[in-house]
Structure 1
Amino acid sequence: MRRGIAAAVVVAALTISASACSGGSSGSDSSGPVTITWWDTSDATNEAGTYKSLIKDFEKANPDLKVKYVSVPFGDAQTKFQTAAGSKGAPDVLRADVGWTPGFAKAGYLAPLNDTPAAAEAQTFEPGLIKQAEYESKLYGIPQVTDTLGLMYNKELFAKAGITEAPGTWSELKSDMAKVKDKTGADGFAFNPQGYYVMPFLFGEGADMVDAGNNTITLNSPAAVKGVDTLQGILAAPGARKLDTTSNAYANIMDAFSTGKVAAIIQGPWENANVFKGSAFKDKTNLGIAPVPKGSKAQGAPLGGHNLVAYAGSDAAHQEASQKFIAFMTSKASQEKVALANGTLPTRPDAYTAEVVKNPGIAGYQGLLSAGVPRVALPEYSSLYTPLETQLIKIVSGQEGTKSGLDKAAAEAKRLLPGYSTS
C-alpha cells in the first residue's frame, strides 16, 4: 500500500489517443494456455507473497490460463504503465491506485468492465469504491483493497494523561496532545506534511481541491484557507512534535509512533502491520483507531485503495482471461485471504468475516469507511496533490503565509486545468 503519495499524473500522457493502445499483450501459441501479464504494485516484501499464492489458486482453477507475475514498485508504476501503454507494451492487468483510474481511462488505456465477468458481483462492493472506479459512467476497475485516513492513537499514553476517549474535534486534539506531553513526556501529535494528509482539514471546512461541477479550483478558497490555518494552529500548540520536512519524515513519524514517542497520528490501514511490529503495540489492543476529528462544518477523510484494471490494447482472448482473473482476485474468498495475511481492508462487506475482524486494525478502519469521501472522478485530480504539497510544506514551515501559499498552489493547479477558474 501507499508508503507516501504517488507521483503526480503526467498530464501530457493523458493526451495520447486511444489509438496508441493496441496490441502488446502477453502471447501464447494456439495450442497452449493463454498467458496474461499482471503488474502488481503491492509491497514486495510484506504483501506480494499472498498475491503469488492466489495466482497459483487461480491457475489451478483455470488450467487453460496462466499469469505472468511482475512486481512493479508503486512509486514507478504510474509512469511505467503510461509509457508501456503508449508503446503497445502494457500488461494485461494492472493494480492501479484509485487516483490513476480516471486518467488512464481518459487516455484510452483501459477497457470498460461493465457487463463482463470482472464486474459480475459489482453490486456487492462498497458503493463509494465502485463510484471512484468509474469514469464518465463506465466502470474501469474493480476495487481490490481500500483504505481511508483515521486517527491512530496510543491508548496507554492517553490513559496516563487522563484521556478516556479519542478527540472528536481539532480543538479537542489540541487539548489532548498538551495533556499527553505534560503527563507522559511523549509528544501528543505528529503530522506528516504531505498533500494527502491535509485533506481531512479541508473536508472539515467543507472544502476540496476542486469543485468539478462548477469547473473551479478551490485550493485557495476561504474554506481551504481556514482548514490549513486549523492545521497551523495544531502544529504550533503545546504537545505537537516538531515538524519534520526531511525526505525521511514519513519513516521518522511512523517509528516515533510505533515506539511510543508520539501518542497520535493521522494514518491509514496500510501501516497496521508495521505499527504492530513496534514496541508500543506488542499488545495489539493498545492501538486506538478513531475517525479524524471534525472541523467547523464537517468530518471526512479521503477514500483510497487500489483497483484492478484491464489494458484496452489486449486482444479478445487476453481480455477474457483478464476479466476472469480480476473477478477471481476480487472475490470474497480472495479478499478474505488477503486481509488475513496482509492486514489490508477488503472492498466488499461480505469479506469482513468473523476471522478477518479479529484484527483490531481492520475492525477499526472498517467502521470509518462509510464516512470516507470518494475521490473526484477527474483525471488530473491526483496531480493536484503536488502543488498543494509543495506550498503546504512552505506554509507549515513558516516560509509562506497560508493564503499566499494556497494562491500559488491554485495557480499551479490552473496549469493542469486550464479550463477551470480559481476561487
Structure 2
Amino acid sequence: MRRGIAATALAASLALVATACGDDGDGGSAGGPVKITWWDTSNATNEAPTYKALIKEFEKAHPDIDVEYVNVPFDQAQNKFTTAAGTKGAPDVIRTEVGWTASWAKSQFLAQLDGTAALPKPEDFTPSLLKQAQYEGATYGAPIVTDTLALLWNKDLLKKAGHDAPPADWDELMDIAADVEDKAGADGFWVNSDPYYTLPFLFGEGTDMVDAEAGKITVDSPAAVTGVEKLKEIVDAPGTADLDVTADAYAHMQDAFVNGKVAMIIQGPWELTNIYAGSAFTHKSNLGIAPVPAGSTGEAGAPTGGHNLSVYNGSDEAHQEAAKEFVGWMTSARTQSKIARANGTLPTRASAYTDEVTAAPGIADYQQVLADTAQPRPSLPEYSTLLGDDFAQNLTAILQGDTSVADGLDDTAGKFAELVPDFA
C-alpha cells in the first residue's frame, strides 16, 4: 500500500473509532489520538532508551497516534503475549523473536501486513529475513533487526598466547584455548550450554534439529551426535572455563569476557554495546569478530536470528491501522540506521547500511559474518519451541557427563516427536 493511501485509511479509521467509541480514553474522542501499546523485548538498559527516543519522534510526526511503551523481559515475553492474546488483552504491537512469528500467526494472533503501511518497500528487506516473517505465504512481521552468532575474541589475550588470528575450526579452537590458559593466564573459551548456542555444532556437521522439508527429526542423527560430541570434547578440554549451568551463567560469561578473564566466546551483536564498555575493550580494536569455527565438514554455520514488529489481530480497525503505521515507521531504513548506530544492531533493509552505519564498531564485521555463515531457520512454527527446556536439560546432562551424547539426543528426539507429531 502506498503511504498516501495508508494515511487516508488511517484517517478514516480514526474518524470511525471516534464516532464509535466516544470518550473512552483510548481512541480518538473529539479528534484525539488513538493510543496504541508496544511491548518491546529489547535490553531495558542499553537498547530501550533508543526506542523511547524514537517514539517521541514518531508521535511528533504522527499527532493522531500516541504510543505507550512497555519493556517486557525477553525471557518472559513469549508466554506473556501468548496468554494475553488468548484473552484479547495483548498489546497492539509486539517485538517478536523471529522464531515466534510463525507460531503466533498459526494461532491467528497476528494481523497480515502485506500491502499495508507496515511494509512499505518490502523489496528493500533482505529476502531471507522477510521470509522468516511469513506463514503460509503471508507476512506477519516487519523485520526490525537481524543477528547471527559469531566467534568473539580478545586480540591481546590471543597475541600473548602466540596467535594473531582466530581459529578456523573447533580443533584449532581447543589448541588456542589451551595456549591462552598456559601463556596468558586466562580461560581460553567459554561454552554456553543453551541449545541456541549449540546450533553451530550441528550446522558444522551439515545437520539441524529437524529437516522441515523432509518432515524428519534429525537431532539424534549421526551428524548431530558428531557435533555434540565435539562440544562435549571442548567442555572437557584444557583451556575451557568450568561449565556453568547456573541461572546466571549468561551474565557470568559476559562478565568474564568483557573483563578479560576469558579469551573467546560465541555471541551475537546485541551485546556489542556492553562489550565495548568492558575494561578489556577500552580500545575497541581489541575485539575480534569472526565466523564461528567450522565442523568436520569444513563448513561453518550459525543461526539467523533477529526480531520483527508484529500487529495484534484482536484489536479494532483503528488500532490496527495506527499500529501498522507505527511498524512501518519503526522499520524504515532511516529509523533502522538510527537504531544500528545507537545500539550496535544489524539493520534488515539494504538501504539502511549507510556509510555511517557500516563505520560503527563491529557492524561491518557482523554484516560479513551474516553473509558468510548465517543460515535462515526452517519455516516451521514449532522450531523455537524445539530449543526449549527439554533440549536444554538433556544438553546439560550430556555436558556434565550424566548421560551419553547418543542417549541424551535420543531422549531429545522423543520429546520433539511430541511437539511435531507428523515428523518421523
TM-score normalised to structure 1 length: 0.91
Aligned equivalents of 1:178, 1:75: Cα separation in 2? 34
Out of 378, 381, 393, the position equivalent to 1:379 is 381
Between the aligned partners of 2:169 and 2:273, the Cα distance in structure 1 is 27
CA shift for structure 1 position 38: 1.1
Secondary structure of 2:247's counterpart equals coil
Residue 121 (structure 1) shift: 1.7
> Deviations along 1:143-169, whole A, 9 cap, x unmatched?
111111000000011111121211111
Match of 1:215 in 2: 215
Q: Which amino acid aligns with 1:32?
A: G
Is 1:110 the counterpart of 2:113 in the alignment? Answer: no
Structure 2 counterparts to residues 260-339 of structure 1, below 5 A: 260-297=260-297, 298-339=299-340
State the distance in 1 between where 2:258 and 2:70 align.
Answer: 31
Q: Structure 1 CA distance, aligned partners of 2:237 and 2:101?
A: 39
Mind listing any 5+ residue stretches in structure 1 that lack a counterpart?
A: 1-22
Counterpart residue number, 2:66: 66
CA distance in 1, matches of 2:94, 2:253: 31
Q: Secondary structure at the match of 2:242?
A: coil
The CA distance in 1 between the partners of 2:239 and 2:119, in whole Å, is: 48
* 1:168 to 1:26, Cα distance in 2 relative to 1, 3 A: farther
Q: Secondary structure at the match of 1:183?
A: helix
Q: Verify: 1:395 aligned to 2:391, yes or no.
A: no
Please show how residues 153-164 of structure 1 align to structure 2 within 5 Å.
Answer: 153-164=153-164
**3-state secondary structure, aligned to 2:187:** coil
1:242 is paired with a residue whose SS is: coil
Q: Secondary structure at the residue paired with 2:99? A: coil
CA distance in 2, matches of 1:273, 1:31: 42
| Unpaired segments ≥5 residues, structure 2 | 1-20
Q: Is the 2:50–2:342 Cα contact (8 Å) retained in structure 1?
A: yes
Aligned counterpart, 1:405: 408
* C-alpha displacement of 1:354: 2.0
Give distance in 2, aligned partners of 1:252 and 1:401.
Answer: 27
Provide the residue aligned with 1:18 in structure 2: none
- Quick one: distance in 2 between partners of 1:402 and 1:100? 28
CA contact (8 A) 2:27 2:33 kept: no
Secondary structure of 1:117 counterpart: coil
> What is the DSSP-based 3-state SS (H/G/I as helix, E as strand, rest coil) of the residue aligned with 1:151?
strand
> Equivalent residue for 1:347?
348
Q: Give the distance between the partners of 2:227 and 2:148, measured in 1 at CA.
A: 19
Note the alpha carbon deviations across 1:298-357, whole angstroms, 9 max, x for none. 311001111000111122222221111111001111111111211222112222222222
- Report what 1:259 is aligned to: 259
User: How far off is 1:60 after superposition?
Assistant: 1.3
| Structure 1 Cα separation of the partners of residues 416 and 303 of structure 2 | 19
Highest CA radius of gyration, 1 or 2? 2
Percent of aligned pairs sharing the same letter: 56
After TM superposition, give the deviation of residue 26 of structure 1 in Å: 5.2
Inter-partner Cα distance in structure 1 for 2:313 and 2:230? 44
1:100 match: secondary structure:
helix
* 1:414 pairs with one of 393, 414, 417: 417
Contact 1:114 / 1:139 at 8 angstroms: preserved in 2?
yes
Following superposition, the deviation at residue 30 of structure 1 comes to 5.4
Of 398-407 and 27-36, deviating more is 27-36
**2: distance between equivalents of 1:59 and 1:248?**
38
Corresponding residue SS for 1:355? helix
**Does the 8 A contact of 1:191 with 1:265 survive in 2?**
yes
What is the Cα deviation at residue 43 of structure 1? 1.5
- Give the superposition deviation at 1:360: 2.1
Q: Which amino acid aligns with 2:355?
A: A
Matches within 5 A, 1:184-203: 184-203=184-203
What are the equivalent positions in structure 2 for 1:129-140 lying under 5 Å apart?
129-140=129-140
CA drift of 1:74 comes to 1.5
8 A contact 1:26–1:92 mirrored in 2: no
Q: Which amino acid aligns with 2:308?
A: N
Alignment RMSD:
1.5
**Greater alpha carbon shift after TM alignment, 332-341 vs 146-155:** 332-341
Q: Distance in 2 between matches of 1:90 and 1:151?
A: 37
**How many pairs does the alignment contain?**
398
**Which piece of structure 1 moves more, 321-330 or 121-130?**
121-130
Secondary structure at the counterpart of residue 365 of structure 2: helix
Partner residue of 2:35? Answer: 35
Q: CA deviation at 1:402?
A: 0.2
- Inter-partner Cα distance in structure 2 for 1:247 and 1:81: 23
SS in 1 for 2:70: strand
Instruction: Give the residue type in structure 1 aligned to 2:335.
Output: S
Residue type of the partner of 1:124? Answer: D
Q: 1:199 deviation in Å?
A: 0.2
Question: Does structure 2 conserve the Cα–Cα contact (< 8 Å) formed by 1:26 and 1:37?
Answer: no
Q: Check whether the contact 1:219–1:388 (CA below 8 A) recurs between aligned residues.
A: no
Give the Cα–Cα distance (whole angstroms) in 2 for the partners of residues 180 and 200 of structure 1: 23
Alignment check: 8 A CA contact 1:193 1:389 kept: yes
Cα distance in 2 for residues equivalent to 1:115 and 1:418: 35
The AA in structure 2 aligned to 1:165 is A
- Give the 3-state SS of the residue equivalent to 1:360 in structure 2: coil
Which amino acid is the alignment partner of residue 83 of structure 1? Answer: T
Amino acid at match of 1:148: T
Distance 2:28 2:394 in 1: 50
Report the residue type matching 1:160 in the other structure.
K
